[in-house]
Amino acid sequence: MLTAILRVLRDIAALVRTPVYRVGMVVPGIGTGLAYASGDAFGGKLVFHVPSEGTISNVTFLDYDDEGIVKELVLFDRDFTATADNAAMDVSVRNSLGVVPINEFFDLGGDRIGQGTPALGYVVPDGMLYGQLVTRGADNIAAGAIPEIWLVIV
């Protein structure tokens, strides 16, 4: 009897288990050896291929340049006109899902990991989220140290 109950509970747990997805990329369009100012677009448009609905539980920023400068990830549920890299950020908020601050950094010697935990839900029937990063400091990225950004979606 106990074995049958445990089997049923295991089957129920398998049905309600939420898959976890991790998607990301190297940040496109970063200018190396250039001085950024706070409020500048940091790289180009980001396009994440994601499940059609979900919740972004974590955002991870892999800082290979070891600067630890706060970033904000502006997310959209459809395509938008991005701001040019290293120009003052100026995007329409129409169709925006929200902004994820990446403001907690962990120093791991020569690199840092930045994190944001937005718990930001979305629905995108075409399976694509769009975004762009904004820097809140004076970055100067070295060649070979282009950062990556990753989303964890449940």
Instruction: For 52-86, give the DSSP string.
Output: SEEEEEEEEEEETT-----EEEEEESS---PPPTT
CA dist 116 and 128 (Å) reads 20
Query: What CATH number did the domain enclosing 109 receive?
Result: 2.60.120
Residue 10 lies in a domain: no
Average pLDDT score over the chain? 93
**pLDDT band, residue 47 (cuts 50/70/90):** very high
Residue 3 lies in a domain: no
Residue 5 lies in a domain: no
Domain span at residue 132 reads 20-153
- Please report the pLDDT score of residue 89 as a whole number: 97
Residue 41 lies in a domain: yes
Q: What is the Cα 146 distance to its own chain's centre? A: 15
Which two structure tokens, joined as six digits, stand for 133? 């990063």
Question: Could you give the number of structural domains in the chain?
Answer: 1
Residue 114 lies in a domain: yes
- Please report the pLDDT score of residue 19 as a whole number: 87
pLDDT above 80 (res 4): no
Residue 69 lies in a domain: yes
Above pLDDT 90, what percent of the chain?
84
Residue 34 lies in a domain: yes
Widest CA span of the chain, in angstroms?
A: 69
Residue 82 lies in a domain: yes
